[in-house]
Amino acid sequence: MIGAGYHEPMAGTDGQAPRGGARGEGSDPARVKRSLAYPAPVERLLAELTRLPGIGKRSAERLAFHILKHDRADADHLAKAIADVKRAIGHCSVCSNLTEADPCPICCDDARDRSTVLVVEQPKDLIALEQAGMYRGIYHVLLGCLSPLDGVGPEDLTLADLIERVKNPEANAGGVRITEVILGMNPTVEGDGTTLLLMDRLHGLGVSISRLARGLPAGWSMQLASKAVLADAIEGRVRVAEP
């Protein structure tokens, strides 16, 4: 019976085995398709990888073959890291930063100034600011920025949570009333659009609103700066002496 099973795919052909695989490739479309596809588990991996942002078919193939080439232990570590991150990590119910504990350690830190909230687009922006080690307030992570072309609207951001934190001290970390909101969106078209939206929504809520300074980065040359950076630097100039 097993033998019959193995021969079953040949049913419907003339019953002669193709020689060297050359025959039949043009005459049986189903057979051609089968021989050109990867084995099913590889196809499944490729399908999952191409669902990731920025990963096209070629990148997915490169990643899949890297996984296939290396030890099984490496693949197990990768699979475990993905499973662990989904199981152990969530968003802080106050600031929406990624965290193992809720509220996150930053929101829980009563040594920080919890009346000042710096709004950023993504957790990676918060990490960059924390690494600079200069800011002692707390944060709010929007988890994105306005991008109408990508279908991202205000309702896709954690904007409502921020407004609630500003209006209701109980919703903020430590029950502290927010007095200043600092807008720290990226200097992009989408970031600027998000800044305008937040300025509009926060207006009249009794908080001062500021924006991170932007312009020429320290250690840079003016000749390397783009027109947009120079325009920001001129607009954001700081007075250093009065007459």
The strand pairing partners of 90, in sequence order, are 99
At its nearest, how many Å lie between Zn ion and the CB of residue 243? 45
Which residues have a Cβ under 8 Å from the Cβ of 74 and sit 6 or more positions away? Answer: 67
**Distance between CA atoms of 50 and 41, rounded to whole angstroms?**
14
Nearer to Zn ion by Cβ, of 34 and 124: the residue is: 124
Counted residue by residue, the chain has a size of 243
Report the interface residues with Zn ion, using CB under 5 A.
Answer: 92, 94-95, 97, 103-104, 107
What interhelical angle do 159-167 and 189-202 show, nearest 10?
Answer: 30
Nearer to Zn ion by Cβ, of 175 and 236: the residue is: 175
Helix, strand, coil in percent for the chain, rounding step 5 = 50, 10, 40
Nearer to Zn ion by Cβ, of 95 and 143: the residue is: 95
Nearer to Zn ion by Cβ, of 24 and 90: the residue is: 90
**DSSP-derived 3-state class of residue 53:** coil
Nearer to Zn ion by Cβ, of 28 and 135: the residue is: 135
Nearer to Zn ion by Cβ, of 60 and 92: the residue is: 92
Nearer to Zn ion by Cβ, of 160 and 196: the residue is: 160
At its nearest, how many Å lie between Zn ion and the CB of residue 162? 12
At its nearest, how many Å lie between Zn ion and the CB of residue 98? 9
Query: Does residue 231 come out as left (phi exceeding 0), alpha (psi in the -120 to 50 range) or beta?
Result: alpha
At its nearest, how many Å lie between Zn ion and the CB of residue 71? 38
Q: What are phi and psi for residue 83, nearest 5 degrees? A: -65, -45
At its nearest, how many Å lie between Zn ion and the CB of residue 89? 13
At its nearest, how many Å lie between Zn ion and the CB of residue 240? 36
**Distance between CA atoms of 111 and 130, rounded to whole angstroms?**
15
What interhelical angle do 40-49 and 57-69 show, nearest 10?
Answer: 130
At its nearest, how many Å lie between Zn ion and the CB of residue 102? 8
The half-sphere exposure of 193 on its side-chain side, counting CA atoms within 13 A, is: 12
